[in-house]
Chains A and B, each alone.
Chain A
């Protein structure tokens, strides 16, 4: 029952049938009005920058200019097909898939290792947790500035300490076969500590007495991990995989600072492609088409995370 309009509720019972529906509707609306007013500020900004933005992407993807100064005209699906035919875009999609898988699996694996090792709270384990969490806090741009030097050929940190054991010094960011993997290292370094937190929280649900009972029955560490811990962590895994995938699409600031998508598009990712089309080529049509395709691709994931989130939030 609404506390805001306690008087409006029991009146409508005895009106004529036709009026009845209308009146019930207007009463319902009247009773709802305070809530709508409270939601209004949020809804205005959501409408402008989330739903409105979605709508504008749809429309913008259908228009194109013949020359940079010409007025926009309707071109239907031409932008979409132009983007799909652009090797830079398909390359970026492929890179992004490699990047997503190659960052999600190691960072989630490491996060699980960290969480299992540091689940027990002590002064030392919380210091180690803090150390592993530090990269999460800093801007991707700052991480990029540090890793620019780490990957610097010949005099950089990596070559200085490890390079001397290699016969040929690789050019970490300059070699198109290696650059994407170098970029991935930064993402893993930055995100493992974040995902660790979710596994630490998930591990609290693992009952200690079941673990002990399993041990007494002769289950070794791997058996206990496989049959007790892993099933308990299933929702955590699902949740972290969703976040890791979203991060692989959206968290690409290091590409801007370190490689600008190069060498020869080897580290071009989808969001950087969109940025290039919009800001460097002033091609809003193609940028919108690429945005639209990316949004559509994330829809499957969205449906999945919808369910995960709804479960977490407990519904309205």
Chain B
């Protein structure tokens, strides 16, 4: 209770004696611990030697003889370097194309007046509602017709335009004072020069917020690449992990599964722990991805 009192020390003086908020806080602490248990198990099981046997597999107390055997096994059984490369290519490719499409479209909505603006705005808005994952069947057919079945480009293509990114850029561009652009206009700067030298440099925080959302969501995509990719060497991490898990589950190699899972999520977790604040504020703006 002392600890809780200390935690609530800057609550308004009047409400400091109430018991309900303290109970709620206590419950939240308890649940936060429960929330971490799967991660804790993953770490402990990764380091547990196979000699401990299946019956100790669930033990959350770390083994006294930690070993990296599981990591080595996972590395050798699953083709994780290849999967990581594929996922990186997919995320980077999507982000680069999105960067161009959302900048141009965001600028049009923010600064230009044109016929049918509301209509086109609502066309964009519709993409937020028609979650792309529901359209896997027609899009798979299209990707196949374009000759992109079983290619990384096929995995990337449906995400090249982003309504969410366009709206984010529109907001960022609208906040930039027009005086800056007028000055450049007098100096004879073309449309693209103005976008390139005024709008993009001043909107970097919004770009990085969008990049965080885009990369995490496509890093985690599963169903769509599962449908598009057929060759084992083109699998992204998520599809690779699911195949790896199915194989290792058969041999009850849970330590190896834990190690494989750790490898898949480590890059995201480390980046999150470094840029925590930025991640959280980006996710707040994301709403519907």
Q: Is A239 an interface residue (CB 8 A)?
A: yes
Whole-angstrom CA separation of A27 from B102 in the bound complex: 27
A302 engages B129 (CB within 8 Å): yes
Q: How many residues of B contact A (CB 8 A)?
A: 115
B90-106 Cβ-contact flags toward A at 8 Å (1 or 0)? 00000000001110110
Q: Is A291 an interface residue (CB 8 A)?
A: yes
Of A49, A57, A200, which one neighbours B157 at CB under 8 angstroms? A49
Chain B interface, >50% SS class: helix
- Chain B hits for A89, CB < 8 A: none
Q: Which of the four size classes fits the interface of chain A? A: 35 or more
Q: Is B251 an interface residue (CB 8 A)?
A: no
A198 engages B35 (CB within 8 Å): no
- Who on chain B is nearest to A302 by CB? B129
- Chain A hits for B246, CB < 8 A: 257
A284 engages B114 (CB within 8 Å): no
Known pairs A42-B162, A45-B158, A189-B38 / 11 extra A-B pairs, C-beta < 8 Å: A3-B178, A32-B114, A32-B116, A114-B28, A139-B238, A156-B58, A193-B35, A220-B20, A275-B136, A298-B134, A310-B125
Most-contacted residue by chain B among A46, A129, A295 (CB, 10 A): A46
Closest 5 CB pairs of A and B: A160-B58, A32-B114, A45-B161, A35-B114, A139-B220
A197 engages B283 (CB within 8 Å): yes
Whole-angstrom CA separation of A128 from B29 in the bound complex: 7
Whole-angstrom CA separation of A300 from B239 in the bound complex: 33
B114 engages A198 (CB within 8 Å): no
Assess A1 versus B113: contact at CB under 8 Å? Given A52-B142, A145-B241, A149-B257: yes
Q: Is B24 an interface residue (CB 8 A)?
A: yes
Q: Which of B62-70, B200-208, B261-269 contacts A (4 or more CB under 8 A)?
A: B261-269
Whole-angstrom CA separation of A43 from B28 in the bound complex: 45
Q: Which positions 1-53 of chain B face chain A at CB distance < 8 Å? A: 7-8, 10-12, 14-15, 18, 20-21, 24-25, 27-29, 31-32, 35-39, 41-42, 45
Give A273 Cβ to nearest chain B Cβ, in Å: 11
- Chain B hits for A155, CB < 8 A: 54-55, 57-58
Most-contacted residue by chain A among B108, B134, B287 (CB, 10 A): B134
A274 engages B167 (CB within 8 Å): no
B209-241 Cβ-contact flags toward A at 8 Å (1 or 0)? 000000010011011001100000000011101
Q: Is A249 an interface residue (CB 8 A)?
A: yes
Most-contacted residue by chain B among A137, A159, A242, A252 (CB, 10 A): A137
Q: Is B177 an interface residue (CB 8 A)?
A: no
- Chain B hits for A309, CB < 8 A: 125, 128-129, 287-288
A137 engages B158 (CB within 8 Å): no
Q: Which positions 102-161 of chain B face chain A at CB distance < 8 Å? A: 102, 104-105, 107-109, 111-118, 120-121, 123-142, 157-158, 160-161
